[in-house]
Structure 1
């Protein structure tokens, strides 16, 4: 039996829960959880905001731990090895997307907390293809958020061939945005942070931003017209997107990794005239995940986290819900 924390109804309290995982699959890995980050997606799934949550629901998809057991066909991972697991726990490995190295786009990809039990538990299982060894230079205490929030903002850097000479804007300095600042600074980009909270200016610059703009100041926004190569939106709010598109240089891109509540509405003429793009992306493939982990370890890119013991998981979830976390929350387990 595996001991976990589960909710039995939408928005319900997480309570001790046990389940029998059955026999371990030939290509699967069982991880003894040491640390597990809390992501806003855990909260969305807890509340069934996306209409796909099954109860009892065990959240947790930013897992760091050591391998407890491996299936018979697992050859590249060993018991005792420290690894991580993110949003995806399995993909078919045979479709055109998996075979081309884009497993995160697999139509059959399985979410770690979608229709199965996640990492708010003493153990969690996943297919070997989505279990990533942690580089030695990476701090295991804070690595968990990299497996969801980190890869979400790192993936566009790779997919769109962002260059060190590019000027990049980041909208929102929160759980995602603060990691974007760290990665882009290490990448060598000139970064402008956009936030509705002027008190975050010093923090944003300490995290890697070169410039800070109060996004409620129309004149400050206007002054940046035609200056940015990429704008990365990490917020879950509706903004004046035409204004941000006007800040892009020709061939610039407004890219979404935060899910806004309403359909996107923009004027097409500026897009066509400037050959600009609007796009979005999910997380990343295992190859991109490994690249991100190595890059983070080499350049000391580390999420800013708060720690809670697993026994205080409900308090931690409430802090996230109240938008008080600076900037990510990681649960710790007694075996860690």
Structure 2
């Protein structure tokens, strides 16, 4: 039996709950969970904001732990190995998308907490292809948020060939944005932080920003007209996107990784005349996750975390929902 913390209904408190995972599949591994980050996507699933939650729901998709058992067909992972698991727990591994190394875009990829049970538990199971070993020198205690928050901001840097000479801005300095600043600074870019919090300005510069712009000031944003090659938005609220589009250079890109539920109000003329682009991306493939982990070790990039015990899970979730987390919340055994 696997012992977990589950929501029995939308917006309900998490309670102790057990389930029988059945026989371990030949391509699966079972992970003993040592740490698990709490992501805003967990909150969205627990509250059924996306309309695809089923209950009892065991959330948690920023897992770090030790392999307890491997299926008979698994030969690249072994018991005792320290590994991580992110948003996806399985891919079809036969479609053209998987074959081209874009498993994260597989239309039948299985989410770790969508239709299956995640890492708010003592153990979790996943297909071995979705499980990534931690590289030597990585701190397991803080690594969990890299498997969702970290890869979400790192993936577009690879996909859209962000260059070390680029001038890049990050909108929102929170769970995603604080990692984006670190990755982009280490990548070699000139980095600007758009933040609505004056208290975060000093922190943003410590994390890697060369410059900060007050996102509540239209005048300050307008002064940055034509400055950026790439802007990555990590927020889930609606902003004046045309104002931000104007801060892009010709051929610049406004890229979304924050899941705003409102339709975008975008002036197409601004896109056409300067050949600008608007795009979005999810988490990355297993190969890109592994690349990100190596890059993080090489450049000493770590999520800034606040630790809670698994027994404090409802307190930890309330802390994240309050907006006071700096910057990621992680559960530890």
Q: Would the TM-score normalized by the shorter structure come out above 0.5?
A: yes
Q: CA deviation at 1:213?
A: 0.6
CA distance in structure 2 between the partners assigned to 1:47 and 1:102 by the alignment? 29
Q: CA deviation at 1:217?
A: 1.4
Match of 2:166 in 1: 166
Deviations 1:239-264 (A, max 9, x none): 00001000000100000000113101
Match of 1:54 in 2: 54
CA distance in structure 2 between the partners assigned to 1:13 and 1:27 by the alignment? 33
CA distance in structure 2 between the partners assigned to 1:199 and 1:31 by the alignment? 39
Match of 1:206 in 2: 206
Matched, 1:197 2:208: no
Indicate conservation of the 8 Å contact 1:87/1:113, yes or no.
Answer: yes
CA distance in structure 2 between the partners assigned to 1:260 and 1:21 by the alignment? 34
When the two structures are aligned, how many residues end up with a matched partner?
333
* Runs (5+) with no aligned partner, structure 1: none
Match of 1:29 in 2: 29
Match of 1:256 in 2: 256
Match of 1:20 in 2: 20
Local SS of the residue matching 1:253? strand
Pairwise CA RMSD: 0.5
Q: CA deviation at 1:24?
A: 0.3
Match of 2:97 in 1: 97
Matched, 1:228 2:224: no
Match of 1:272 in 2: 272
* TM-score, normalised with respect to structure 2: 0.99
Q: CA deviation at 1:222?
A: 1.2
CA distance in structure 2 between the partners assigned to 1:223 and 1:138 by the alignment? 40
CA distance in structure 2 between the partners assigned to 1:216 and 1:43 by the alignment? 26
* Runs (5+) with no aligned partner, structure 2: none
Q: CA deviation at 1:220?
A: 1.2
* TM-score, normalised with respect to structure 1: 0.99
Q: CA deviation at 1:199?
A: 1.4
* Structure 1 segments of 4+ aligned residues over 3 angstroms from their partners: none
Q: CA deviation at 1:91?
A: 0.6
Match of 2:113 in 1: 113
Q: CA deviation at 1:111?
A: 0.2
CA distance in structure 1 between the partners assigned to 2:228 and 2:269 by the alignment? 18
Indicate conservation of the 8 Å contact 1:137/1:298, yes or no.
Answer: no
CA distance in structure 1 between the partners assigned to 2:216 and 2:51 by the alignment? 33
CA distance in structure 1 between the partners assigned to 2:147 and 2:261 by the alignment? 24
CA distance in structure 2 between the partners assigned to 1:316 and 1:238 by the alignment? 27
CA distance in structure 2 between the partners assigned to 1:199 and 1:332 by the alignment? 28
